Amino acid sequence: MKEQNASQLNPKNYEFPLKGHVYCKILFDEIFLPILKERFPDVLSRLSAGVIGLGSDVLGADDELSRDHDWGPSKCQLLLSEQDIAAYGTSISQALEAAIPDAFLGIETAKLRPKTIRISTIDAVYRDFHESAYPPVTIEEWAAADDNDLYYASSGFVLYDPSNALSERISAFQKAYYPPDIWKWKIASDLWGIWHNGDYNSSYRLAKRGDGIGLLIGQGAFVECTLRLLCLLNRRFPVYWKWLHWEVQSLPKWMDIIGPSLKELESANNHKARGEIIHMICQSIREILYKMDLLPDTAWRNFMGSQEITLQIESTQVKALIREEEPHLYAW
């Protein structure tokens, strides 16, 4: 099959290289939708399509390097009811897979893997990576929920959704957030990590001992906890470590304070400088916590004030979970 003629798409309207969700939108509108209208018109009103689930393209963080796996036509996730899947699923996937051009918008689809068209229910897609089709509700559910899964569940791109079923599901996750006491628990947990990996061990012990390898290990854990904390302070779900730096660059608050120091840490070429920068970042974090009324002052404190944060938690249920899961945060 020759490359699809996409001149009618006016490529000047799109930035290149194309993001995965833009590629999928054009592919769906120009290749898949005409086939669905012609051969499966009865399901169109009940059909949703989107780029959802896991992967950098679900976030809009993908680039040309992302195309080496799980990128392209296979991310056009089609969503139907179980009844429609039983009746039409195999026929739809076979028809659409057969229609995928060998090349489309300058990209050789033959080199993309996999090339299968996924058809599932909305509930099943969310249960596959979040374990639940809907956002958490109870304290137990919020405590057990994975930050990364929640971030992906509240992300994604809608390609086709006449019933608004997919749009409403994504919106439900975007509107949900940790209850106040769970939020403070997570803040305290990352503050303890910042203290243990940075303020205590990296800034003082490892840097002064000249243990460069140990300092690299501690520095990495410290930076991850710092970026996670910035997400939490902006009431965002922290994504997993590989995309954390990408995520925090879009935060509305505090990155302008922490970001320059992180760039200095990236380029620091000796142990002493790295230790001093880590100490400076910790001081900036204390100032941010003070501005947010989470700490009473900006003075240095043991454990980066994590135990002071847990003292603000009112829920006996959350306190019991902390004593069980993170006893080092126990402060009452």
Mean pLDDT within 103-124: 85
- State how far the Cα of 107 lies from the Cα of 114, in Å rounded to an integer: 14
pTM across the whole model = 0.90
Q: 63: exposed, middle or buried (C-beta count within 10 Å: 0-12, 13-18, 19+)?
A: exposed
- State how far the Cα of 204 lies from the Cα of 304, in Å rounded to an integer: 14
| pLDDT at residue 68 in the model | 83
| pLDDT at residue 14 in the model | 61
Token code pair at residue 267? 């380029």
pLDDT in tens, 210-248: 898 999 999 999 999 999 999 999 999 999 999 999 999
Mean of all residue pLDDT scores within the chain: 92
| pLDDT at residue 72 in the model | 86
What are the strands, taking DSSP E only, across the chain? 48-51, 77-79, 103-104, 107-108, 119-120, 157-160
Q: Residue 52 pLDDT > 60, yes or no?
A: yes
Token code pair at residue 274? 């790295």
Q: What is the CB-side half-sphere exposure of residue 327 using CA atoms within 13 A?
A: 1
Token code pair at residue 125? 């897609």
Mean pLDDT within 246-259: 97
| pLDDT at residue 16 in the model | 62
Which single residue is written with the structure tokens 């669905």? 36
Antiparallel, parallel or unpaired: β 103-104 and 77-79: unpaired
Which residues lie below 8 Å from residue 82, measured CB to CB, with a gap of 6+? Answer: 121
pLDDT category at 108 given cuts 50, 70, 90 is confident
Token code pair at residue 42? 């009865």
For the stretch 308-312, contacts whose Cβ atoms lie closer than 8 Å and that sit 24 or more positions apart, written own/partner, are: 309/184, 309/187, 309/188, 309/191, 310/184, 310/185, 310/188, 312/184
Mean pLDDT within 59-73: 88
Phi-psi region of 190 (alpha: psi -120 to 50; beta: other; left: phi over 0): alpha
Q: Residue 319 pLDDT > 50, yes or no?
A: yes
